[in-house]
Amino acid sequence: MKKVLVMCTGNSCRSIIGEALINAKLVGVGAMSCGVSPSGRVNPNAKKVLEDNGIWKDCYHSKNLDEVISEHFDLIVTVCDHAHETCPMFPKPVKKIHVGFEDPDGKDYEAFVETYKEVEKVLLPKIKEVLDV
């Protein structure tokens, strides 16, 4: 099983959506997510879009990098520019890619639906390509 870490700033929307989509749609790949400055909560609209698509799990929550830094990852994905610019060094060498998405936080539910679709359409094929799965 290949392991992916999805990082953004607040770990409340984009990275949670990415984590859930990877876990639900990519065979042989498991994902976790974290934030460089986590909000401490999952945005209710992010949770709703995942529930509406049948891929929400209660284990999804906003995490700090400290909670996952000791894990082994095959790939680090940053999904916002701030996380990309501030992505820390990891204890072991690991591939990193950046695939940025607009932050839906503070917008209506439709923005979260669009983010979900964009992450599924753009990020998942890129991860498959990079990890060769």
Residue 117 lies in a domain: yes
- Has 13 been annotated as catalytic? no
What span, in angstroms and rounded, lies between the C-alpha atoms of 54 and 64? 26
Residue 86, pLDDT above cutoff 80: no
Residue 59 lies in a domain: yes
Residue 131 lies in a domain: no
For position 44, what pLDDT does the model report? 98
For position 74, what pLDDT does the model report? 96
- Has 59 been annotated as catalytic? no
Of these residues, 13, 34, 59, 80, which one is catalytic?
A: 80
Of these residues, 13, 34, 59, 87, which one is catalytic?
A: 87
pTM value is 0.94
- Has 87 been annotated as catalytic? yes
Residue 114 lies in a domain: yes
At 130, list the tokens: 């990079």
Residue 133 lies in a domain: no
Q: How many domains does the chain have?
A: 1
pLDDT tier, 88 (very low <50, low <70, confident <90, very high otherwise) = low
Residue 65 lies in a domain: yes
For position 89, what pLDDT does the model report? 66
Percent of the chain clearing pLDDT 90 (strictly above): 82
Tell me the residue range of the domain where 78 lies.
2-126
Residue 132 lies in a domain: no
User: Average pLDDT for residues 13-21, to the nearest whole number?
Assistant: 97
Residue-wise pLDDT for 21-78, tens only, equals 999 999 999 999 999 889 999 999 999 999 999 999 999 999 998 899 888 999 999 9
Domain of 27: which CATH number?
Answer: 3.40.50.2300
